[in-house]
């Protein structure tokens, strides 16, 4: 559809207090595991891209996703965002917030949300 498009798969690893140097676990060890997880995700992306003869750039950052994603969009030359959402509603959404909703509200480019089906919904 867009043969000249440059695709970037961007993954954000969110820190938790127990994963910092001041917490229960050595922060560097947790960061190594987070990097390995991101690389595993990217390996899957590379396989899919190769299957459709596409080129994909991958990048990951460490931080709060709703802030890091918006900042990344401001820093890079991004034209369109496609991101997943778990589709939380009601109290869960109110208490947890929504990364996708924050990105939609704050992004300066169009954002397409792909909602994952709820576990009790048919797929």
Q: What's the whole-model pTM score? A: 0.73
pLDDT digit string (tens) for 16-29? 644 445 555 555 77
Mean pLDDT of the 57-86 span: 91
Q: Which CATH number fits domain 66-123: 3.30.70.3000, 1.10.10.10, 1.10.3720.10, 3.40.50.620?
A: 3.40.50.620
Residue intervals in the chain for CATH 3.40.50.620: 66-123
At 39 the pLDDT is 85
At 29-46, the pLDDT tens digits run 777 888 888 888 888 888
DSSP-derived secondary structure for the chain: --TTPPEEEEEEEPP-GGGSTTSSS-HHHHHHHHHHHHHHHHHHHHHHHHHTT--EEEEEEES-HHHHHHHHHHHTT---EEEEE----HHHHHHH--HHHHHHHH-SS-EEEEEPPPTTS--
């Amino acid at each position: 559809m867009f043969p000249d498009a440059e695709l970037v798969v961007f993954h954000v690893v969110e820190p938790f207090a127990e994963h910092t140097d001041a917490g229960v676990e050595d922060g560097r060890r947790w960061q190594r595991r987070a990097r390995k997880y991101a690389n595993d995700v990217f390996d899957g992306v590379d396989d899919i891209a190769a299957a459709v003869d596409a080129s994909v750039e991958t990048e990951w950052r460490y931080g709060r996703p709703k802030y890091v994603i918006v900042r990344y969009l401001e820093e890079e030359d991004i034209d369109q965002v496609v991101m997943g959402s778990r589709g939380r509603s009601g109290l869960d959404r109110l208490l947890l917030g929504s990364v996708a909703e924050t990105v939609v509200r704050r992004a300066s480019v169009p954002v397409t949300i792909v909602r994952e089906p709820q576990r009790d919904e048919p797929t």
